[in-house]
Chains A and B, each alone.
Chain A
Amino acid sequence: MRVDVTINGEPRSAEVEPRTLLVDFIRTHLGLTGTHVGCDTTSCGACTVILDGKPVKSCTVLAVQAHGSELRTVEGLRQNGRLHPIQAAFKEHHGLQCGFCTPGMMLVGAALLEKNPAPSEEEIRWELSGNLCRCTGYMNIVEAIKAAGAGSAGDAVGEDLGAAESVAAAEEMEAHA
């Protein structure tokens, strides 16, 4: 079946079997691997994407169900090569260690701040309760979201990602793998 979506503002489509999960459609068919697969059992939120404005677990949605929808993934956070405030805040507040949960955490954080720009710590923790992190203990994730909301993410906002630099780093990593 043909699935057409708008993902991070760009129209994309692919032919899939009905049983293809949205997360695999995004990673394999569209080549956007920022969305992770963690538990694959609807528990961890590593696969979080924003589907028509709402964060969902993309391992538990069929790709065909997203036909005609608007999707946002972690790749859509940066704008013109510059960091989104939530990304800047995660960087400054050490909101990540291994980074596996981070795309989901940032998307849930960004969606929360769009609804409620000044959430309390309790509201942030409640909103994050479908996303698991095995590294950080959550403290700095909560701090980062709070800072992004307060607009105090500081210097890194809009920081140039240095695309060429990260491509070089990725290539180097691959060479060592």
Chain B
Amino acid sequence: MYPAPFEYSAPTTLEEATALLAELGDEGRVLAGGQSLLPMMKLRLATPGHLVDINRIPGLDRIEHVDGHLQIGALVRHADVVDSQEIADASPLMASTAPWVADPLVRNRGTVCGSVAHCDPEGDWNSVMLALGAEVVAASRHGERVIPIEDFVVDYFTNSLQAGEMVTAVRIPRGDAGTAGKYLKLERKVGDYATVGVATHLRIDGGTIVEAGIGLTSVGPRNIKAREAEAMLVGEAPSSELFAEAARAAALASDPASDVRGPADYKRAVVEAYVRRGLEACVRQISEEG
């Protein structure tokens, strides 16, 4: 299967890339890992006129600390996250997600930022980013802007980038002491998209939950931030009753469809179980930390 013909450029600086994207407008499309875009192009579900391959731009492959954030550049592959000590230290949630994204070969090419930009509701990373309160760094010919993830994820395969913009990084708040996170994913087989995925994030200070994040995968038209459930947790002391209540609220916030991966009520039940288990795992992590 061949994609429809297209023009191809591989700029070697960000300036060149953003100038090209500005010039191309709707015809231009960023190519990162290509692990979603190329399959779609081969099936002719996408027929971009001009691909702007960002893989030859130096410096985008970094994981670095910037202004109290951990910043993940646009060319950081899923496999880099699996291997990163920096990520393991700063974000147990990201670290526990990466090994469940796709398969090892796809992870060697696909990027975190590409997944974030792709906004596939079955993609794992946007649930994690919603749970963590991440920000997307976007660049255009006119400069840079920072977009909160909640404003970035608009809908089914739709982000809020404007024509001429590209993502240069996604950044997450640096995990302070007392931070924990867990990604739980039900999949039919290794490499499959989630039947249900649940990202949980907690920060506990002096016995009180001071931050709570819950993101849901594959149970709606976009990745879902379970805001009500999060709000129930903040300011409270962790307990199994509280977690059960928050889990029920998260299940209500989910909007799954019945499909080959299972009926909707089953998926909703999995959301409830996984939110509860994820929160319990967070508490265990924090108590092990001491």
Residues of A within 8 A of B (CB): 1, 17-21, 40-43, 45, 48, 54-57, 60-62, 64-65, 67, 108, 126-127, 129-131
Contacts and interface: CB of A to CB of B under 8 A. Distances in A.
Nearest to A50: B108
B290 interface: no
Contacts of A130: 102-106, 191
A18 B51 contact: yes
Contacts of A54: 79, 108
Closest 10 CB pairs of A and B: A130-B103, A18-B8, A130-B105, A129-B190, A54-B108, A19-B3, A60-B38, A130-B104, A57-B105, A129-B103
A51 to B, nearest CB: 8
A44 to B, nearest CB: 10
A60 B8 CA distance: 16
Nearest to B9: A18
B105 A41 contact: no
A64 B105 contact: no
A17 B5 contact: yes
A57 B41 CA distance: 16
Nearest to A18: B8
Contact of A18 (B6, B42, B190): B6
A55, A57, A127: most-surrounded residue (chain B CB, <10 A): A57
B104 A61 contact: no
Interface in B34-56: 34-35, 38-39, 41-43, 51, 53, 55
A129 to B, nearest CB: 4
B8 A62 contact: yes
B79 A41 contact: no
Nearest to B37: A60
Given A60-B39, A62-B8, A55 B34 contact: no
Given A19-B6, A43-B191, A61-B38, 19 more contacts: A18-B5, A18-B51, A21-B2, A42-B38, A54-B79, A56-B105, A56-B108, A56-B109, A60-B39, A60-B109, A62-B38, A64-B53, A65-B31, A65-B34, A65-B55, A108-B104, A108-B105, A129-B190, A130-B191
A43 B35 CA distance: 11
A137 to B, nearest CB: 15
B7 interface: yes
A60 B103 contact: no
A129 B104 CA distance: 7
Contact of B5 (A1, A19, A65): A19
Interface residues of B, number: 30
B66 interface: no
Interface in B225-264: none
Contacts of A19: 2-6, 41
A55 B108 CA distance: 7
B163 interface: no
24 contacts: A40-B1, A40-B42, A42-B35, A42-B38, A42-B39, A42-B106, A43-B191, A55-B104, A55-B108, A56-B108, A56-B109, A60-B38, A61-B34, A61-B109, A62-B31, A62-B38, A65-B10, A65-B34, A108-B104, A108-B105, A126-B104, A130-B104, A130-B191, A131-B105
A126 B2 CA distance: 30
A63 B10 CA distance: 13
Interface string B1-33: 111111110100000000000000000000100
Interface in B105-154: 105-106, 108-109
Contacts of A126: 104, 190
Nearest to B105: A130
A56 B39 CA distance: 14
A57 B8 contact: no
Contacts of B109: 56-57, 60-61
A23 to B, nearest CB: 11
For A18, A20, A40, A126, which residue has the most chain B Cβ atoms within 10 angstroms?
Answer: A18
